[in-house]
Structure 1
Amino acid sequence: MKTQAKTYKLVLSALFLALCLVLPIVTGGIPAIGNMLLPMHIPVLLCGLICGWQYGLVIGFVAPLLRSVLFGMPPMYPVAIAMAFELAAYGLIIGLVYAAVHKRGIAALYGSLIAAMIGGRLVWGLAEIVLLGLAGNAFTMQAFLSGALLSAVPGIVLQLVLIPAVMVALDRTGVVRFQRAEG
């Protein structure tokens, strides 16, 4: 049974990785919209929730780097590298926080999601500071606020609406149980 569960999580993780590669193509025709909707974040967050922090961490780290190698977008330096750390933090944090919550449900889901969103953005900011610092460039607070918050508002809203909706739908169909049975 344990091997079946690992295989199931591995297959789902591959699906989430594929979604990370394909979803940006949907919004890629208009880069400004793609940058605002953050299409790679959604599969990584779902992977961390459904498969666990280990899978979310790996898929989050690999997805932007693989997408950069395969499609040339996002540019490897500094964008894809910084995104790799950001998305890895998303998958790690949402998986860890949600697994640690005793009573699961919508409130726990939102708490985990918000913790991951904050943590991922902080990691992205630190990665940008290091990467740009290595090149002798500065990463200002204004650049952080613009990249982490202002330009990302539509994507943040989309994540706050779509991820709980997907989890509720998966719970209702019995594919994934995100609410622990009381008793």
Structure 2
Amino acid sequence: MNHSQTKNLVGTALCIALGLILPQVFHLIGAGPVFLPMHIPVLLCGLCFGWPFGLICGAVTPLLSSVMTGMPPLFPTGTAMVFELAAYGALSGLLYRKFRQNIYLSLIAAMLGGRVVSGLASAIFYGVAGKAYGLQIFLTGAFVTGLPGIILQILIVPVLVIVLEKSRVISSPGLMKV
């Protein structure tokens, strides 16, 4: 395993750990569903380490959180979140690292794509669970309740990635070997 691969694995593990810790902190003040703290490390992982690592981080984090803390409940919420967060991590990494799109475009497109995946997964899993789920519930959960979290992600995530690139903790997509 080369140095870059090791760095990516360690960074992904750190993002998973943050994805377990941040929600606990936000839930202490009752702000978990509003600020979407598990999304931040997953988006960071994809942007910093690429789509495969972002996908793994996004799929593993809600499962581990559900098993370790009971939040989110494993089914249907946690299961739907596995698909949603995996999409965030994969899309952010694909757009920014592989296709070298602007960081803001990559982030916002990943956030929108992940929400579409969330809506589809939730419709399936909530339906299987016999729970109500429809367009109004989707729009409220994906865009209204989480609006402060969406704003926080747009303000903080790109800045963190740019700082990490400028300090050479991670490589910039323009400097990556092809």
Moved over 4 A (4+): none
Corresponding residue of 1:14 = 13
Using structure 1 for the length normalisation, give the TM-score: 0.90
What is the identity percentage for the equivalent residue pairs of Structure 1 and Structure 2?
48
Corresponding residue of 1:61 = 59
Instruction: Report if the CA contact (8 A) 1:167-1:178 is conserved.
Output: no
Corresponding residue of 1:89 = 87
What CA deviation, in whole Å up to 9, does each residue of 1:107-134 have, x standing for no partner?
Answer: x000100110000000000011100111
TM-superposed CA distance for 1:35, in Å, is 0.7
TM-superposed CA distance for 1:179, in Å, is 5.6
Alignment RMSD: 1.4
TM-superposed CA distance for 1:99, in Å, is 2.5
User: 2: distance between equivalents of 1:96 and 1:154?
Assistant: 25
Corresponding residue of 1:39 = 37
Give the partner amino acid of 2:118. W
SS at match of 1:180: helix
Where structure 2 has 5 or more consecutive residues not aligned to the other structure, the ranges are none
- Change beyond 3 A, Cα 1:3–1:179: closer
Corresponding residue of 1:4 = 3
Where structure 1 has 5 or more consecutive residues not aligned to the other structure, the ranges are none
User: 2: distance between equivalents of 1:34 and 1:68?
Assistant: 14
User: 1: distance between equivalents of 2:14 and 2:143?
Assistant: 28
User: 2: distance between equivalents of 1:8 and 1:86?
Assistant: 25
Using structure 2 for the length normalisation, give the TM-score: 0.93
